[in-house]
Amino acid sequence: MELTEKTLEKNVIYKGRVLQMHVDHVQLEDGRVSTRECVDHPGGVSVAALTPHNEILLVRQFRYPYGEVVLETPAGKLEAGEDPLSACKRELREETGAVSDSFIPLSVMYPSPGYTNEKLYLYACRISEQGGQHLDDGEFLEVDRVPLREALKQVERGEIYDAKTQVLILRAAQMVQAGKL
């Protein structure tokens, strides 16, 4: 079994500033035809940024699709042609005012593989300095410094809903314990 699908027809139904949506007809491995609804996304980055005192920088921002404020690691989308590490450095500085001399690439995450091709590039770092935010136009968020142990407890208690943030807190805690961060 090859576990593949052949695209027969691709119909773009929406082109936005960030996303493109399409409905495709595909041929399944057994020859039948099926429909796939997909969202094209440029990808993004997120970082577990730790202070010298093992506090993790988290941001609070209103997320319109959920209608609530969400606690997250600093993150953002890739600009056209931008490499993930450059985007990570940019987003960390814009959202938190923090700078790091060394970033550790952790992994690539597929946040919702059932309907989007979005890839998130995950990093960890120790910040070397922190100044003021440089937020994008229309971006409003607050920065929290949370002891890593407390952030880990929040994940364990189910109080952090964002998947990338859960993964990054868990990975950062493992790395600190192993002396790798």
User: What is the reported pLDDT for 140?
Assistant: 81
Name the architecture of domain 44-177.
Alpha-Beta Complex (3.90)
Contact yes or no for 78/87 (Cβ under 8 A): yes
User: What is the reported pLDDT for 135?
Assistant: 64
Q: pTM of the entire structure? A: 0.92
Provide the pLDDT confidence category of residue 1 given band limits of 50, 70 and 90. confident
pLDDT in tens, 14-34: 999 999 999 999 999 999 999
The residue ranges of every structural domain in the chain are: 6-40, 44-177
Separation CA 27–CA 117 (nearest Å): 19
- Calculate mean pLDDT across residues 128-151: 84
Instruction: Report which of residues 9 and 134 the model is more confident about.
Output: 9
